[in-house]
Amino acid sequence: DRATRHARRATATAHANIALIKYWGKADERLIIPRSSSLSLTLDGLSTTTTVTFGNDACDGADNGVADGADAAAADTDTVAPTSGDTLIIDGRRHEGTALQRVAKFMDLVRRMAGIDTPVRIVSRNTVPYGAGLASSASAFAALAAAGSRAAGLDLSPRGLSRLARRGSGSACRSVFGGLVQWHAGHDDESSYAEPVPCAMDLAIIVIAVSTGQKKLSSRSGMRRTVDTSPLYPAWIDAGERDMREALDAVARQDLEKLGEVSEANALGMHAAMIAARPAVLYWMPQTVAALHAVEAVRTSGLPAWSTMDAGPNVKVLTDAGHAQRVAQALRDRLPGCAVQVHRRGPGVVMENG
Ligand code: 2P0
């Protein structure tokens, strides 16, 4: 049949990223244009690998080991009929509802660009070495944009791929590239994209896993509420412009201390603005505060270590690869009961078979 004849498949892997200068708040909700530019490090170890196949019937009994395993798991799942013709399987489990809707809506963009209307089957695997709650929509939508566009027969430039990934999840536009990456806020679809920033420092991020439970409030809702109600939000945006200039200057001068200071200040300022929202967007837990103090103590002891935090209770620590294991051990000594894991810089999107 038509779907089978036109079925095309592609597989891509993307890695999570952690922002040093944060994205928090949209100027355009539909296009996902942010209120400010951001700067991030793509990490090794935390990745999503996604296979997209156009034509729903096309990969049943196919030669793809991941899809076969997922098929078996999905067959065990008691599922309701899907609302779209698309199928979504994440880590062996079939997803319906809002997750499928969000992904199907994203694939509608890809279909429109390619001039096709075939349903897709999406099979995704995440490598999260410890617990849950640290997986990211950034690696997920970067991998989906790459595999989905390639399977649709599109041949996007890296910038075009970054713009497409942005439509799935803002931070995903940065995971298209490896290492240090800047997302230019821009003012429309064409001008809002990420690109790599040359960096001679061998940066590393240490994740202190305070809690790996499901977060109470999504980034999307949390940032909307912060923009709409926090009296501190405009001040954070103002400071963010200067933070970005200082961060890029510190990178160019290979000044880790300056980069660490401005990154920590930007992240804590973002959380101050969140906490001032009404009602408060409060992601902190008691152990979050303990971790922030531990990072400060490790730094006072003479090691390079600066905190950053995202939309959750976990604390991440900026350091460099040469000091990362010593910093991690010092943190483990001070924070028994928290998993502490070192991540070095990771690669950008990689397609299977070129
Ligand atoms: C960042 N975060 O720069 C910031 C810091 C969380 C805190 O990007 O609504 O999942 O899909 O564009 O990308 C998380 O926001 O939000 C995020 P959407 P996304 O990494």
Residue range 122-181, pLDDT digits in tens: 999 999 754 445 668 999 999 999 999 999 999 999 999 999 999 999 999 999 999 999
Q: How confident is the model at residue 211 (pLDDT cuts 50, 70, 90)?
A: confident
CA atoms within 13 Å, Cβ hemisphere of 256: 19
- pLDDT, average across residues 270-274: 98
> Looking at the chain, which residues constitute the CATH 3.30.230.10 domain(s)?
2-198
Mutating to test ligand 1, I would choose from 35, 171, 184 the residue with most ligand atoms within 8 A of its C-beta, which is 171
Q: Whose CA is nearest to atom 7 of ligand 1?
A: 310
- pLDDT, average across residues 265-288: 97
> How far does residue 22's CA lie from ligand 1's centre (Å)?
8
- The answer to whether the CB of 48 is under 6 A from ligand 1 is no
CATH superfamily to which 203-344 belongs: GHMP kinase, C-terminal domain (3.30.70.890)
Tell me: pLDDT of 354 over 60. Answer: no
> How far does residue 35's CA lie from ligand 1's centre (Å)?
12
Q: How confident is the model at residue 235 (pLDDT cuts 50, 70, 90)?
A: very high
Tell me: pLDDT of 70 over 70. Answer: no
- Spatial neighbors of 112 by CB under 8 A, at least 6 apart, are none
- The answer to whether the CB of 271 is under 6 A from ligand 1 is no
- pLDDT, average across residues 75-91: 66
Cβ neighbours, 10 Å, residue 268: 14
Backbone angles phi, psi at 23, to 5 degrees: -100, 120
- Spatial neighbors of 273 by CB under 8 A, at least 6 apart, are 24, 226, 230, 232, 233, 235, 236
SS3 state of residue 244 = helix
- The atom of ligand 1 lying closest to the CA of 32 is 12
- Spatial neighbors of 334 by CB under 8 A, at least 6 apart, are 294, 297, 298
To which residue do tokens 């400010």 refer? 36
Tell me: pLDDT of 82 over 80. Answer: no
Q: Whose CA is nearest to atom 9 of ligand 1?
A: 220
Q: Whose CA is nearest to atom 15 of ligand 1?
A: 219
- pLDDT, average across residues 212-238: 93
Tell me: pLDDT of 225 over 80. Answer: yes
Contact criterion met (CB below 8 Å) for 135 and 212: no
Tell me: pLDDT of 321 over 60. Answer: yes
- pLDDT, average across residues 179-208: 98
Mutating to test ligand 1, I would choose from 29, 243, 310 the residue with most ligand atoms within 8 A of its C-beta, which is 310
Residues 101-117 have pLDDT tens digits of: 999 999 999 999 999 99
**Distance, CA of 287 to CA of 296 (rounded, Å):** 14
Tell me: pLDDT of 310 over 60. Answer: yes
Q: How confident is the model at residue 216 (pLDDT cuts 50, 70, 90)?
A: confident
Q: How confident is the model at residue 353 (pLDDT cuts 50, 70, 90)?
A: confident
**Among the listed residues 116, 187, 188, the one whose alpha carbon sits nearest the alpha carbon of residue 152:** 116
- The answer to whether the CB of 38 is under 6 A from ligand 1 is yes
Predicted-complex ipTM score = 0.99
SS3 state of residue 314 = coil
> Looking at the chain, which residues constitute the CATH 3.30.70.890 domain(s)?
203-344
Q: Whose CA is nearest to atom 20 of ligand 1?
A: 19
Q: Whose CA is nearest to atom 11 of ligand 1?
A: 169
* CA separation, residue 15 to residues 1, 81, 139, 155, 303 (Å): 36, 32, 5, 21, 27
Q: How confident is the model at residue 20 (pLDDT cuts 50, 70, 90)?
A: very high
- Spatial neighbors of 108 by CB under 8 A, at least 6 apart, are none
> How far does residue 326's CA lie from ligand 1's centre (Å)?
30
Proportion of the chain above pLDDT 90, given as a percent: 84
**Distance, CA of 186 to CA of 173 (rounded, Å):** 13
Tell me: pLDDT of 312 over 70. Answer: yes
> How far does residue 311's CA lie from ligand 1's centre (Å)?
8
Tell me: pLDDT of 215 over 90. Answer: no
Structural domain 2-198, CATH architecture: 2-Layer Sandwich (3.30)
- The atom of ligand 1 lying closest to the CA of 18 is 20
> How far does residue 171's CA lie from ligand 1's centre (Å)?
5
> What does 152-173 look like in DSSP terms, one character per residue?
TT----HHHHHHHHHHH-TTHH
- The answer to whether the CB of 263 is under 6 A from ligand 1 is no
Q: How confident is the model at residue 59 (pLDDT cuts 50, 70, 90)?
A: very low
Average pLDDT, the chain: 90
